[in-house]
């Protein structure tokens, strides 16, 4: 069958199933089956029966709202990729902005001739920590994950990067780094329990609930980070935390209301939605 016809039918099928980006996903899945890239599909003149059958199987799973990244086995993020699958949160593109903020501040420490110490709390797949280690090789990067299945994915993804990974909770990890951290970064769980039905099917049914939900208002983990940051960061150190787009006021208020932070700001993503907060520990 001609690939154009396959792709057209596949996109219609995924769109009817409620997939948000049917053309993109149809192309990625066909490229995956054929062992090429989406940009090179125009070079393919025909798809044989065996590949078409495999493609149909993957389309059925995607139409059932299994995450695209699970079907591909990887997620791309900034300049790195990580292996993902059942048991670990799939990285989202909007989190690249938070990672970029952390990278910028780690580079600022390098610029004054020092070695930045960076901690990634709730690391999940390890993608933020891996990006920082990739783009700021001078940094000493540490990461922690509470959930054993997710920790196993992070262990796989961070092997050979130099990142020190630990299994543990964000409230107690890294006592040995108290007062030494330059940059603290986290994409924690932040979905309110009452918002369960509003979560996208791909996340609700396939991402670990430990990585999604955080108390009645979704701010429980962020409150812990606000307290823990005071312990871990050196004077003048900075913290960045992702939050839900409806928490653009509530999440920063956790920090500004504690009396322990200055320069509390909120930042928007590329869709102009509130996405992450930053703050500095007073010098």
Selected catalytic residue, list 3, 77, 91, 187: 187
> Annotated binding residue at 155?
no
Q: Which runs of consecutive H residues, i.e. helices, occur in the chain?
A: 3-16, 22-34, 49-63, 68-72, 95-111, 127-135, 148-158, 201-206, 220-232, 250-256
> Is residue 55 part of an annotated ligand binding site?
no
**124-142 burial string, b = 16+ CB within 10 Å, else e?**
bbbbbbbbbbbbbeebbbb
67 is in an annotated binding site: no
The answer to the question of whether 190 is labelled as a binding residue is yes
* Spatial distance between the Cα atoms of 20 and 82, rounded to a whole number of angstroms: 22
Q: Which of 3, 188, 192, 252 is catalytic?
A: 188
What distance lies between CA 130 and its chain's CA centroid?
A: 11
208 is catalytic: no
Coil vs helix vs strand at 199: coil
- Check residue 90 and report its DSSP letter: P
187: annotated active-site residue:
yes
Candidates 181, 124, 186, 109; CA nearest to 157 is: 124
Residue 65 DSSP code:
T
Query: Residue 187 annotated as binding?
Result: yes
Q: Which residue in the list 3, 22, 77, 89 is annotated as catalytic?
A: 89
204 vs 111: CA distance, rounded Å: 42
- Could you confirm whether 93 is annotated as catalytic? no
Annotated binding residues, as ranges? 145, 187-190
Annotated binding residues for S-adenosyl-L-methionine, as ranges? 145, 187
Annotated binding residues for substrate, as ranges? 187-190
Residues with a known catalytic role:
89, 187-188
């Amino acid at each position: 069958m001609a690939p154009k016809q396959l792709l057209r039918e596949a996109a219609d099928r995924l769109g009817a199933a409620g997939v948000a980006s049917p053309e993109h996903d149809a192309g990625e899945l066909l490229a995956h089956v054929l062992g090429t890239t989406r940009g090179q599909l125009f070079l393919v003149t025909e798809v044989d029966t065996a590949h078409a059958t495999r493609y149909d199987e993957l389309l059925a799973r995607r139409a059932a709202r299994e995450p695209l990244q699970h079907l591909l086995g990887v997620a791309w993020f900034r300049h790195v990729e990580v292996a993902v699958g059942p048991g670990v949160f799939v990285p989202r593109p909007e989190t690249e902005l938070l990672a970029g903020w952390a990278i910028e501040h780690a580079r600022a420490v390098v610029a004054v001739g020092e070695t930045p110490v960076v901690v990634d709390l709730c690391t999940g797949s390890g993608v933020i920590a891996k990006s920082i280690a990739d783009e700021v090789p001078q940094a000493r990067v540490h990461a922690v994950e509470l959930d054993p299945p997710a920790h196993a994915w992070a262990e796989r993804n961070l092997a050979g990067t130099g990142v020190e990974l630990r299994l543990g909770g964000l409230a107690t990890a890294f006592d040995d780094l108290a007062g030494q951290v330059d940059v603290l970064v986290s994409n924690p769980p932040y979905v309110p329990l009452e918002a369960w039905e509003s979560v996208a099917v791909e996340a609700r049914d396939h991402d670990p609930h430990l990585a999604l939900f955080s108390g009645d208002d979704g701010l429980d983990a962020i409150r812990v980070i606000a307290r823990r940051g005071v312990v871990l960061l050196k004077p003048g150190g900075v913290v960045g935390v992702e939050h839900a787009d409806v928490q653009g006021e509530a999440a920063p208020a956790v920090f500004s209301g504690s009396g322990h932070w200055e320069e509390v700001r909120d930042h928007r993503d590329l869709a102009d939605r509130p996405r992450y907060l930053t703050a500095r520990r007073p010098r």
